[in-house]
A and B are shown apart, each in its own frame.
Chain A
């Protein structure tokens, strides 16, 4: 089955710096790659996603890049703010298994003011 590895497991940055979280996946059939943000004690929330026919997608301070050949995708957060502090999960899924996705183990991002 699909395996998703996420790095780093913890990341600490100064406010205003950039943060990058990377994920690799094993199944070349995967074609949908979302990122979720989970604040302490809250539910995971979808913050950005990318499909396999696109190499990059941006939404204000966050962006996701996808390299299908290397089977990895990354989340980029620029001008980080303390409210960006949370656990971030990447995931991978594919059409033939709609409704099921494999998540990375999460990255705890701490933004220090």
Chain B
């Protein structure tokens, strides 16, 4: 079956702009989690959506937001981009949540803010 699809793969944005990233989970998976990966900070949890509801949220500012659609596809949005937002954003799909089955990660969107 198809894996987790993230689009776009690469993005270059200017400070102050906003960006929307997309994630399509594995068919049948209802949980989508988002992580920010940077060389110095590892994998940091952003938020998790389950059945169109945000179930968990990490310690990121309100500029980071997300949503999930009825087909389980999820988007995350970052407004007023800062240089420090440059990172690899990974989407992780799971059937019910990480504690039951583990994650299947997408290939990520590499965001560069200039």
Contacts and interface: CB of A to CB of B under 8 A. Distances in A.
A105 B99 contact: no
A103 B98 CA distance: 12
Interface string B83-114: 00000001000101111101111111000000
Given A44-B90, A104-B42, A98 B107 contact: no
A16 B83 CA distance: 43
Contacts of A36: 103, 105
A106 B100 CA distance: 22
Contacts of B33: 99-101
Nearest to B35: A103
Nearest to B40: A105
Interface residues of B, number: 26
A106 B42 contact: yes
B104 A94 contact: no
A104 to B, nearest CB: 7
B105 A93 contact: no
A69 B106 CA distance: 34
Q: Which of B49, B90, B102, B106 has the most CB of A within 10 A?
A: B102
A31 B42 contact: no
Contacts of B71: none
B42 A103 contact: yes
B31 interface: yes
B103 A46 contact: yes
Interface string A33-45: 0101000001111
B42 A100 contact: no
B56 A97 contact: yes
Top 9 closest pairs, chain A to chain B, by CB? A98-B97, A99-B48, A100-B56, A99-B97, A103-B43, A43-B105, A105-B42, A46-B102, A32-B99
Given A89-B42, A98-B50, 7 more contacts: A32-B99, A46-B102, A99-B50, A100-B45, A100-B48, A100-B58, A101-B98
5 contacts: A46-B103, A46-B104, A97-B56, A99-B49, A99-B98
